[in-house]
A and B are shown apart, each in its own frame.
Chain A
Amino acid sequence: MASEKNNHHRSIPDINGTHPTPKKPKLSSSSNFITASEIQSEFSHHDSAVSRINNGSFGSCPSSILSAQQQWQLKYLRQPDHFYFNHLKPAINNSRSIIQNLVNAKDINEISIVDNATTAAAIVLQHTAWCFREGKFNKGDVVVMLHYAYGAVKKSMEAYVTRAGGKVIEVPLPFPVSSNDEIVTEFRKALEKGKVDGKKIRLAVIDHVTSMPCVVIPVKELIQICREEGVEQVFVDAAHSIGCTDVDMQDIGADFYTTNLHKWFFCPPSIAFLYTKKNPKTGGGGDLHHPVVSHEYGNGLAVESAWIGTRDYSAQLVVPEALEFVNRLEGGIEGIKKRNHEAVIEMGEMLVKAWGTHLGSPKHMCASMVMVGLPTCFGVRSDSDALTLRTHLRDVFGVEVPIYYRPPRDGEVDPVTGYARIFYQVYNKVEDYYKFRDAVNQLVDNGFACTLLSK
């Protein structure tokens, strides 16, 4: 592993009496844009020996925001009672207010900050379970989700929905995929299945960007279909989206929406928000609760989530700094999204050309990531093979990239069964992808196959 960077700014200073104030977001003029070398410096804590093309799994956080976070941590540690009584709530509300504006939510009460999308899923699905238990929903009523839904969300479905008597229907998705229509068709079929025997579809859980394989789903269109077909509520699991796709609550029109800010919005681990659309009739947000119940139970999800017992809430407090960082890049978040998208497509095309394979989806179904087919000679035949290959790439070549096993379909000849999921974030360089290209080429030349590594 690379030697630890000299992060002297992360040592704890002696502070007596001074109150560190978080920076206020500044307006950038063109001359204030962050330079390429400043970007590298901001991410200098990344292991320089690794081609880190997996921003999507764990995200990334620039040094200046880590420092800002540390200031908040120290402020708390200095005098925690004072912090709890006087600083914590206003700081969380400040973050919520910025998020509200960023995502075009009408009311700040629609924005709750939670740890991650996994927690948001537990909140929404626990509510669904309650509805089944209380008899609001009938046993056998349906919750629809995508087959490629995140593993944790599937488990949450099992723990909360199936257990409470709900029926879960998965929408199979084609992969590789070539158009939104393919997804729409499967979705409609699943809804039909759900309405069989007079059952109601109480909830549709739709990924904005699926995790593995990674594809941008036409959520707006699917939500439109849900409304037409009488699906009661829609929950969009947009774990990747803020900083990666468009996030406009009015435009998307979901009832519940969650995204992580530590993946593509430069926040430290970990912070996400859950948007709960205010019901125009009842004025309420659907009576959701945080599963870790504390003093604020019953005061609304946002307030409940802002205190779930003593913890380090500092990651939730640096949203202002994250926005400031974003605005140091030309075009702000829009500029970043655009450049990331163009770069990852360019890199993806470079790779498939070098390997003679193909992309997993067309450009318009990618955001800051794309699935890249791997040479078939690798013989990826299982999830275990995929993980083995991933480990091999990390350990031997210093390339960090998730590998996906795509089971072949009947009748396919010499199918591509292994895909790499590559991302592009502001700290990435072309060299990262050349290194990956060359690693794969070398493996091909050496006659590599996954079976050779299996135990």
Chain B
Amino acid sequence: MDNHDDPRNGTVQPDSKKPKLTHPISSHELLHEFSHHQTAVARINNGSFGSCPRSILTAQTTWQLRFLQQPDDFFFNTLRNGILDSRKIIKNLINADDVEEISLIDNATTAAAIVLQQIGHHFSSGKFCRNDTVIIFHCAYQAVKKSIEAYVIPVGGSVIEVELPFPVNSNEEIIAEFKKGIERGKINGGRVRLAIIDHITSMPSVVIPVRELIRVCRENEVDQVFVDGAHALGSMEVDVKEIGADFYVSNLYKWFFSPPSVAFMYCNKNKKLNDVHHPVVAHEYGNGLPAESAWVGMRDYSPQLVVPSIMEFVNRFEGGIEGIMKRNHNMVVKMGVMLKEAWGTNLGSPPEMCASMIMIGLPSKIRVMSDDDALRLRFYLRVYHAIEVPVYYQALGNGERDARDKDGFITGYVRISHQVYNIVDDYNRLKTAIIQLLQDGKICSELPKE
């Protein structure tokens, strides 16, 4: 676990991205790496909980054992440096200037709490006024919305929700809606103090044109921009300098093969955001977010220590992480197109607005008419077909945008993921299961509930 690349500062192409010259991972080895996944399950939902190969679980176990053997020694002599090594690798991966901009935390949910707690303080202290707002997409992750409810609303802030057009055809549609939202924020002389922009929305899943939206934010004097890139690392390129956000978070356990759970949070040092704290306060309070996050009390920090091992793993693939991302994207689009053609439906967004996940319309005859219907269908697919795939209900909107197939309006979508362990058969099984439902004349509300 010590032989990670030691990237030099200042290079545009960090060494850690270049794959080592060893034999690429064989299909047999790949199978073994994920042999702990439940066989017979078509696991096409990597986006929710991610996945972790055996060799990294083994590396994690090694770290855990080192701690258990002599925890004091580990705490004093090993932990900090191990976390620093991981942070350095992340810094290079995302093209950040300084490792002090990188903190390791549990997950994107924690990052939201960190950002929103300090926003809340600004409202309490009077730095922000009652008219001021936070802008988010209406489909922002539920935990983020709750965090706003907890930290911003009680102290006088309010929220503007931007409708995400879906199904969506182009970046311009999203940018236009966002601009409208910003304008709403400026009514009554208020200011938009924080924009929370998903890099890849969760449900429905679409890649958002973050660079353009951040440009709009800067033009409109939005104080802080927080990009929630929960899905991003390992599914699309993340260049934080190019993106230009003040805060950026991405989980490592979704698409970057880490065990549950670890995420990185980037805080742009040029913004001099000095009031950013981890909400679980411990000895390092006031020493900067990276130090605070590296010790939030006694816990198992092993997921934060395996990043070097992750680099070793991804570099066993042709093209390293870039090769993986490219192949995942191509495959998920190919499978998406295969499904939409088999079902006579649509894709939720064009391929260039997808990374390693894509939304595919379900035949209208299945009649996904509510969130409850969507859950029933998901349960049905899991229990009766051993297929794990999230189902999304899209309420009808304004006629023109509403997608149709030959039988009616499309109101249900599946979100398929492709990760290195997936096989074509996973998606054929989904294709067949849905077609079977159609042939049986079943609709969602008739499916058994959990």
B298 contacts A by Cβ under 8 Å: yes
- Smallest CB–CB gap between B381 and chain A, Å? 11
- Smallest CB–CB gap between B371 and chain A, Å? 14
A151 contacts B by Cβ under 8 Å: yes
Q: How many pairs of A and B residues are in contact by the CB < 8 Å rule?
A: 207
A168 contacts B by Cβ under 8 Å: no
Q: For chain B, which range describes its interface: under 10, 10 to 19, 20 to 34, or 35 or more residues? A: 35 or more
Residue contact A269 to B146, C-beta cutoff 8 Å: no
B69 touches which of A2, A12, A82, A134 (Cβ 8 Å): A2
Residue contact A311 to B107, C-beta cutoff 8 Å: yes
Return 23 A-B CB contacts under 8 Å, by A number: A11-B61, A46-B68, A46-B69, A47-B73, A54-B72, A58-B75, A79-B388, A81-B49, A84-B49, A115-B298, A116-B297, A118-B282, A121-B281, A126-B279, A133-B124, A133-B155, A134-B154, A156-B281, A294-B143, A308-B109, A308-B110, A312-B261, A400-B72
A354 contacts B by Cβ under 8 Å: no
Q: Which residues of A contact B48 (CB under 8 A)?
A: 80-81, 84
> How far does the alpha carbon of A237 sit from the alpha carbon of B147 in the complex, in Å?
27
A429 contacts B by Cβ under 8 Å: no
B113 contacts A by Cβ under 8 Å: yes
> How far does the alpha carbon of A152 sit from the alpha carbon of B278 in the complex, in Å?
12
Q: For residue B45, which residue of chain A has the nearest CB?
A: A81
Q: For residue B61, which residue of chain A has the nearest CB?
A: A10
A1 contacts B by Cβ under 8 Å: yes
B28 contacts A by Cβ under 8 Å: no
Q: Which residues of A contact B39 (CB under 8 A)?
A: 16-17
- Smallest CB–CB gap between A42 and chain B, Å? 12
A394-B73 contact, Cβ under 8 Å, with A78-B36, A270-B300 = yes
Residue contact B281 to A10, C-beta cutoff 8 Å: no
> How far does the alpha carbon of A15 sit from the alpha carbon of B40 in the complex, in Å?
12
Contacts of A175-222 to chain B: CB distance below 8 A? none
Residue contact B277 to A159, C-beta cutoff 8 Å: yes
A310-B253 contact, Cβ under 8 Å, with A14-B35, A74-B36, A268-B300 = yes
Contacts of A274-289 to chain B: CB distance below 8 A? 289
Given contacts A57-B75, A160-B281, A311-B261, 7 further A-B contacts (CB under 8 A): A4-B69, A77-B36, A82-B382, A84-B49, A118-B297, A269-B300, A394-B73
Residue contact A312 to B49, C-beta cutoff 8 Å: no
Q: For residue A57, which residue of chain B has the nearest CB?
A: B72
Q: Which residues of A contact B68 (CB under 8 A)?
A: 45-46, 61, 66
Binding site for A on B (CB under 8 A): 35-41, 43, 45, 48-52, 54, 57-58, 61-62, 65, 67-73, 75-76, 106-110, 112-113, 116-117, 124, 142-143, 146-147, 149-151, 154-155, 251, 253, 259-261, 277, 279-283, 285-286, 296-300, 303, 382, 388, 450
Residue contact A47 to B41, C-beta cutoff 8 Å: no
> How far does the alpha carbon of A244 sit from the alpha carbon of B51 in the complex, in Å?
39
Residue contact A12 to B58, C-beta cutoff 8 Å: yes
A291-B113 contact, Cβ under 8 Å, with A4-B65, A115-B296 = yes
Q: Which residues of B contact A57 (CB under 8 A)?
A: 71-72, 75
A260 contacts B by Cβ under 8 Å: yes
Q: For residue B283, which residue of chain A has the nearest CB?
A: A151
Q: Which residues of B contact A16 (CB under 8 A)?
A: 38-39
Residue contact B282 to A294, C-beta cutoff 8 Å: no
Residue contact B149 to A152, C-beta cutoff 8 Å: no
- Smallest CB–CB gap between A109 and chain B, Å? 20
Q: For residue B300, which residue of chain A has the nearest CB?
A: A269
A292 contacts B by Cβ under 8 Å: yes
A117 contacts B by Cβ under 8 Å: yes
Binding site for B on A (CB under 8 A): 1-2, 4-5, 7, 10-12, 14-17, 45-47, 50, 52, 54, 57-59, 61, 66, 74, 76-82, 84-85, 115-119, 121-122, 125-126, 130, 133-134, 151-152, 155-156, 158-160, 260, 262, 268-270, 289, 291-295, 297-298, 308-312, 315, 391, 394, 400
A115-B299 contact, Cβ under 8 Å, with A152-B281, A291-B117 = yes
Q: Which residues of B contact A1 (CB under 8 A)?
A: 69-70, 73
A291-B279 contact, Cβ under 8 Å, with A57-B72, A391-B76 = yes
Q: Which residues of B contact A156 (CB under 8 A)?
A: 281-282, 285
- Smallest CB–CB gap between A216 and chain B, Å? 21
Q: For residue A10, which residue of chain B has the nearest CB?
A: B61
- Smallest CB–CB gap between B157 and chain A, Å? 13
Residue contact A119 to B260, C-beta cutoff 8 Å: no
Q: Which residues of B contact A295 (CB under 8 A)?
A: 142-143, 146
Q: Which residues of A contact B69 (CB under 8 A)?
A: 1-2, 4-5, 45-47
Q: For residue A46, which residue of chain B has the nearest CB?
A: B69
Residue contact B70 to A50, C-beta cutoff 8 Å: yes
> How far does the alpha carbon of A12 sit from the alpha carbon of B73 in the complex, in Å?
27
A270-B299 contact, Cβ under 8 Å, with A52-B70, A309-B107, A309-B108 = yes
> How far does the alpha carbon of A155 sit from the alpha carbon of B192 in the complex, in Å?
32
> How far does the alpha carbon of A14 sit from the alpha carbon of B61 in the complex, in Å?
16
Residue contact B57 to A297, C-beta cutoff 8 Å: no
Residue contact B300 to A312, C-beta cutoff 8 Å: yes
